[in-house]
Amino acid sequence: MNKTLLTLLLATSLTISTAEATEKVAVVNQSVLNKAAVKKTASDEVVFAANSPQLANLKIEPVIEITASATSPLNGKITFDENYTSRISSPILGRALSIKAQIGDKVKAGQVLMTIDSPELGSALADARKAYADLQLKNKAFARNSLLLEGGVIARKDLEASQSDLAQAVAEEQRANARLKNLGAQRNGDESFMLRAPIAGVVVDRQVNPSSEVRPDAPAPLFIITNPEHLWASIDLPERDLAKVVPGQKLAIQVDAYPDEIFSGNIDSIGVMVDPTTRRINVRCSVQSRGKLKPEMYAQISPLNTQNIKVIRLANTALITEGLYSYVFVEVSPNHFKKRRVSLNSQEREFATVKSGLSVGERVITSGAFLLNSELAVAK
């Protein structure tokens, strides 16, 4: 039995040793392949073989030039364009019967949003009907008195009295009809009031449920309808930057939802006073949202230089920082990269502007620069 156990132990030991040896050979072979894929040509250059697997991890983009910012990026927020927004409340007191529109629905101008049961509307209808009936009666009385006056049966003062009553009846009917018109109702209608959309757009907020009481003096609107293609941006401009912005100035706008995209805009108006607490001025801007921006998004807004000064912009992922200096890898030729020192003008959260060291049109590695820097260090 001891011999059998010894035999099993020896077989297991041989199997483990063989596996370890195979693994070490695989690691050595991979190392040889990697070294064969990376060729050192100079202390700051790396050349990959055409079939090198490292190339799949590199993203290469051309250097672009943009208009320089007049200030550092400013905090802002995307808001509704009030010229294309309607906050709708009920003009009468009543109770919601049915809701015809939900958040996100596209509506047309005049479309019914909700139906309201309103005794106030019933009172307005009763006033209009009463005024109409009284007008008919006073009109007949005036016509009859006119005939009686011609026959000498009544005095002129009786005709004048009926004429005055008719004028009052006309005024009362006009008042009652104006009230109905303001409510969007007709004299022969019922007490169900139809709340309609005044503009076309998208329902972005609803603050009413079936059977809820609605009233004209409610603090919040029942519906908010807006056109999402038209948006504003609001900037809290520091007092020290007031001289750097003017109405009509172009803007570069970035949001967290689309970090690699820049949206365009223009300054529409600058506030007339400084907030005494924050020492900032409100600046209203129009935005070209391209259907992507949403109200209440936070944004980084950069007013662009009015003198059209251009600077080179580079993604921060392309930069290698070593001590006090920054470097990038420039594509010299296909699969051939050279490490180059650059001077930065400014550096923000996602991008940096380059003062010197790069030219427009050169191709640099924007993703995988750290990998290439490691390959360069290994090759040294």
User: Does the pLDDT of residue 76 top 60, yes or no?
Assistant: yes
pLDDT over 90 percentage in the chain? 27
User: How high is the pLDDT of residue 180?
Assistant: 79
| 79 contacts: CB under 8 Å, gap ≥ 6 | 231, 232, 233, 234, 295, 296
Which of 2-6, 244-248, 309-313 bottoms out in mean pLDDT, i.e. has the lowest? 2-6
Q: Which tens digit of pLDDT belongs to each residue from 229-254?
A: 899 999 999 999 898 899 999 998 98
User: How high is the pLDDT of residue 151?
Assistant: 80
Highest mean pLDDT among 15-19, 149-153, 257-261: 257-261
User: Does the pLDDT of residue 8 top 70, yes or no?
Assistant: no
Q: What average pLDDT does the structure give for the chain?
A: 82
Query: Residue 379: which pLDDT band, with cuts at 50, 70 and 90?
Result: low
Query: Is 375 found in the same domain as 330?
Result: yes
User: How high is the pLDDT of residue 4?
Assistant: 52
Query: Residue 42: which pLDDT band, with cuts at 50, 70 and 90?
Result: low
Position with higher pLDDT, 274 vs 193 = 274
Maximum separation of any 2 CA atoms in the chain, in Å: 152
Highest mean pLDDT among 37-51, 55-69, 283-297, 303-317: 283-297
Domain termination residue (choose one: 288, 303, 318):
303
Report which residue type is found at 353. T
The answer as to whether 96 is a domain residue is yes
The answer as to whether 43 is a domain residue is yes
Query: Is 355 found in the same domain as 251?
Result: no
Query: Is 246 found in the same domain as 212?
Result: no
Report the CATH number at residue 182.
Answer: 1.10.287.470
User: How high is the pLDDT of residue 38?
Assistant: 52
Query: Is 245 found in the same domain as 218?
Result: no
User: Does the pLDDT of residue 19 top 50, yes or no?
Assistant: no
Q: Which tens digit of pLDDT belongs to each residue from 359-369?
A: 888 888 888 88
Provide the residue range defining the domain that includes 217: 87-118+191-226
User: How high is the pLDDT of residue 380?
Assistant: 59
pLDDT over 70 percentage in the chain? 87
Report, as an integer, the average pLDDT of 187-201.
83
User: How high is the pLDDT of residue 208?
Assistant: 92
Query: Is 289 found in the same domain as 335?
Result: no
Query: Is 203 found in the same domain as 149?
Result: no
Query: Is 145 found in the same domain as 47?
Result: no
* Cα 231 to Cα 295: distance, rounded to the nearest angstrom: 7
The answer as to whether 348 is a domain residue is yes
Which of 36-40, 143-147, 254-258, 361-365 bottoms out in mean pLDDT, i.e. has the lowest? 36-40
User: Does the pLDDT of residue 58 top 70, yes or no?
Assistant: yes
User: Does the pLDDT of residue 36 top 60, yes or no?
Assistant: no
Q: Which tens digit of pLDDT belongs to each residue from 21-31?
A: 444 434 344 44
Report, as an integer, the average pLDDT of 171-188.
80
Query: Is 103 found in the same domain as 147?
Result: no
User: How high is the pLDDT of residue 324?
Assistant: 86
Position with higher pLDDT, 278 vs 307 = 278
Which of 320, 316, 310, 369 shows the shortest CA–CA distance to 341?
Answer: 320
User: Does the pLDDT of residue 13 top 60, yes or no?
Assistant: no
Query: Residue 70: which pLDDT band, with cuts at 50, 70 and 90?
Result: confident
Query: Residue 41: which pLDDT band, with cuts at 50, 70 and 90?
Result: low
